[in-house]
Amino acid sequence: MKVCILGDGLTSLTLAKTLVNLGITVDIFSDKKVKNNNKIQTIGISKNNIDFFDKNILDIKKLLWKIKKIEIYSENLKNENILNFQDKDKLLFSIVRNSDLYNFLFQNLKKNKSIKFKRKINFENLIKKKYKLIFNCDYFHPISKKFFYKKINKDYNSFAYVTTFEHSKLSNNHIASQIFTKKGPLAFLPISPTETSVVYSAKGKIELDLKNLLIRYNTKYNIKKINNILKFKLTSSNLRSYYHKNIIAFGDLLHRLHPLAGQGFNMTIRDIKEISQLILFKQENGLDLDTSICSDFEKNAKSKNYLFSNGVDFIYEIFNFQNKIDNSFISRSIKFLGKNKMINKFFIKFADRGIVI
C-alpha cells in the first residue's frame, strides 16, 4: 500500500513517520534537498500531543524543554500579571527547536526502507503513478493553486519578529510568559537554562528595534547575546475544501493561525491523529485505502479546526480592541475571570486538546 506526500517540511516528515509506522510505503516529493538548519524558530507542543507523538510517531522527550507555568501580562495595566496557567506543577506544554525536531525525524526516516525522497514531479506524472492517497503539504505547489485556493483569509496587518537570546543561567527557566503590548503580543518561551526564544507579533509595517524592546519588557533575564531576527507577515486562513478526489490538503494549507497561542503545529498533530485513526480503522477491518478517507477526514476535522482557529482569533481581537480604545477594562475583566478555577481549567484544556466534540 503506497501513498505520496508533496513537500518536505516538518509537517511532511511528521506525517510520513506516522504512515510508515502504520505499515504504509511513502514517497516524499520535493523541489529542494531536504535540509533544515534554522535554529532560531521554535514550536510549542501541548502535553496531549506530546503523549501522542511519543506513542504513535517517535519518542522526542530528549528534544523537549518543559513548560510548567504560563504567565500573561497586559501593558494596559502597566505590565501587571492578569492570568496564570498552572496545573499543580504538572507539564503544560514543551518547547522544541524546529530544526532539532526536523533533523531528528529526517535521520530516522532516511534509515527506513518504506520511505523514499524524490525530486518534485509534475501533476500529470504524479497521477500516472496511481497512489492510493496524495497528501499535499506543499503550500506553493501547483496542485495547491489548482485545487486548494478557496480559503477564508484574514490579514492582520502585522509582522512576527522571531529570535532567541542567551542569558545567565536560570535553574527554573520553565515559565513561559506573554505580554499583550499596545503593538501586539510578545512571548518569552524558554528553551534551556541559558536560552529563551521570543515571538513578537507587532502591528504595522514600520521596522522595530526588537533588541531595545526586549530590554524594555524583559524583567527576568540577564541578556548576554541576542541572535539573528527573522520576520514574517501574519495572516490566517481556513481552507474551504480539504480534498480533491484522492488528494488531501495538510498542514498550513488547511489552516494558518496567529502565533499568539502557539497552536499551529498542535492543530497539525491533531489532524495527523485524526487521519491515522481513519487509516487504522480501514486496516483493522481489512479495507483498502480509498477516497472515503478524504471525505471522512474533512467531516471529522473541518468543523473542529474552524472553531479552534476562530477561538484563537477571538482572543487576539479582544486585546486588539482594548488597544484601539486605550482602556484597561478588558484586562481587568480577564484578570477577574482568570481567578475562577473552572474557567482557568477550561483554557488549559482548550490549549492542550483543542476542540473536543
Q: How confident is the model over 246-267, as a mean pLDDT? A: 92
Nearest to 262 by CA among 45, 102, 14, 47: 45
> At the topology level of CATH, where does 2-353 sit?
FAD/NAD(P)-binding domain (3.50.50)
Residue 213 has pLDDT above 80, yes or no: yes
Cell 502565533 sits at which residue?
A: 259
- 279-313 burial string, b = 16+ CB within 10 Å, else e? beebeeeeeebeeebbebbbebbbebbbebbebbb
pLDDT tens digit sequence for 62-109: 999 999 999 988 887 767 787 888 877 678 899 999 999 999 999 999
pTM score of the predicted model: 0.91
Q: Is 313 helix (H, G, I), strand (E, B) or coil?
A: helix
Q: Provide the β-strand partners of residue 205.
A: none
pLDDT over 70, % of the chain: 94
Q: Are strands 134-136 and 2-6 parallel, antiparallel or unpaired?
A: parallel
**149 burial level (CB within 10 Å; 0-12, 13-18, 19+):** exposed
Residue 318, pLDDT score:
82
Report the C-alpha dihedral over residues 105, 106, 112, 114, rounded to 10 degrees.
Answer: 90
Range name among 50-64, 127-141, 324-338 with the lowest pLDDT average: 324-338
Q: How confident is the model over 167-187, as a mean pLDDT? A: 91
Give DSSP secondary structure letters for 189-219.
Answer: EEEETTEEEEEEEEESSSPP-HHHHHHHH-S
Instruction: List alpha helices for the chain, DSSP H.
Output: 10-21, 47-52, 98-109, 123-128, 142-147, 210-217, 264-284, 292-325, 329-338, 341-353
Q: How confident is the model over 275-302, as a mean pLDDT? A: 94
Q: Is 73 helix (H, G, I), strand (E, B) or coil?
A: strand
pLDDT category of residue 331 using cuts at 50, 70 and 90 = confident
Nearest to 196 by CA among 225, 216, 231: 225
Residue 129, pLDDT score:
86
Phi, psi dihedral angles at 16 (to 5 degrees): -60, -45
Residue 33, pLDDT score:
56
More confident residue, 314 or 14: 14
Calculate the alpha carbon distances from 25 to 12, 113, 131, 282 in Å.
14, 8, 10, 16
Residue 246, pLDDT score:
94
pLDDT category of residue 355 using cuts at 50, 70 and 90 = low
Report the C-alpha gap between 254 and 297 in whole angstroms.
12
Angle at 244 between CA 34 and CA 300, to 5 degrees: 90
Residue 214, pLDDT score:
86
Residue 28, pLDDT score:
95
pLDDT tens digit sequence for 251-260: 999 999 988 8
Residue 164 has pLDDT above 60, yes or no: yes
- 102-133 burial string, b = 16+ CB within 10 Å, else e? bbbbbebbeeeeebebeeebeeeebeeeebbb
Report the C-alpha gap between 19 and 46 in whole angstroms.
21
Residue 256, pLDDT score:
93
pLDDT tens digit sequence for 131-144: 999 999 999 888 99
Q: Are strands 25-30 and 93-97 parallel, antiparallel or unpaired?
A: unpaired
